[in-house]
Amino acid sequence: MKSKRAKSPPVGEAITARVVANFRATVALQLQGQEGFEKAYPLKNLPLLVAGDEVVCRREDGALRVYELLERRSVLERADRHWVKPLAANLTHLGIVSANPPGVDALLIDQFCVAASRARVSSLIIFNKCDTMSADERTSVSALMDTYRAIGYPAVMIDTKTENGMEPLMTELANRSITLVGASGVGKSSIVQKLLPDKELRIGAVSQATGFGSHTTSVTYWYELPNGGAIIDSPGVRQYSVAHVDEQTVREGFFEMADTAVQCRFSNCTHTVEPACAVLDAVKDGSIAASRYENYCKLIASE
């Protein structure tokens, strides 16, 4: 998405800022190089602004007004029957959380990996509740982590209960901006609480700056982390759905297969029944994990 500039002529000095939260008519901004938050008014002909957006604003008649939305490097969207709504912008990673209970679901992980690719972000695979894993479970998860790491996805095993249980994730989050997704019950809220022990204070500071209530549960917030990273959080984002992705998106989202597919005989190869399919050959010789290929087949069959 290219930069979007409002039509009204700008006045005053241009100020670059980050959208921390959107309250419909106004947004909470963190101005570049400054502490705290300020309320601003987006001009009406701008697109919907979301947490993570970078904008240009100016002071006019004592109010801060947003005149320009800078180009988004990535955008997480939710589609329904009528329109596509942006949820968050300028993420670098989708933090895909799994745990037992409710159970590690590799198919769901791969669906989210495809969704991350579509949103132009990378995937960070997070296995939570490792403090309660049996020896067999730990071995199985370790093998799955090796599979994703071989593809190029970072993967960590964490817990929110022990003293150093979050350290592997904190290391991965340095200078990255993420949001957490995954099935209900995997512990996304617990992870957020560990990452943001002062979350209520931060929401209160935004509330004081904007005049909106501090318990607006539907609002999506951008929170900076002490290691240079950031996390975008709200119940709505955590419930991000990957119920439907088209077949072409699935093919593009399995990176190791997409890279190998350039050697297939047919440019439109589905990697299922075609002769001289490089992907099928790679599955046979173990270059592509059979479990990933099986999930690929399940996803394209559901379309």
Q: Measured between alpha carbons, how far is 214 from 201 in angstroms, rounded to an integer? A: 9
Give pLDDT tens digits for 206-259: 988 888 755 556 789 999 999 899 999 987 787 787 767 788 899 999 999 999
Q: In the structure, what pLDDT confidence band is assigned to residue 85 with cuts at 50, 70 and 90?
A: confident
Q: What angle do CA 229, 219, 204 make, to 5 degrees?
A: 75
Residue 262 phi/psi, 5-degree rounding, is: -65, -15
Set out the domains of the chain in order of their start, with CATH numbers: 4-69 (2.40.50.140), 77-200+217-238 (3.40.50.300), 247-301 (1.10.40.50)
Give pLDDT tens digits for 152-167: 999 999 999 999 999 9
Q: In the structure, what pLDDT confidence band is assigned to residue 81 with cuts at 50, 70 and 90?
A: low
Tell me what pLDDT residue 302 has: 80
Q: What is the mean pLDDT of residues 17-40?
A: 93
Q: What is the mean pLDDT of residues 111-116?
A: 94
Percent of the chain with pLDDT over 70: 93
The half-sphere exposure of 5 on its side-chain side, counting CA atoms within 13 A, is 6
Q: Measured between alpha carbons, how far is 61 from 94 in angstroms, rounded to an integer? A: 40
Q: With 60 as the cut, is the pLDDT of residue 130 above it?
A: yes
Tell me what pLDDT residue 303 has: 64
**Residue in this structure with the two tokens 């935004």, named with its chain if needed:** 206
> How much is the mean pLDDT over the chain?
91
Tell me what pLDDT residue 207 has: 86
Tell me what pLDDT residue 11 has: 63
Model pTM score: 0.91
Q: Measured between alpha carbons, how far is 10 from 61 in angstroms, rounded to an integer? A: 12
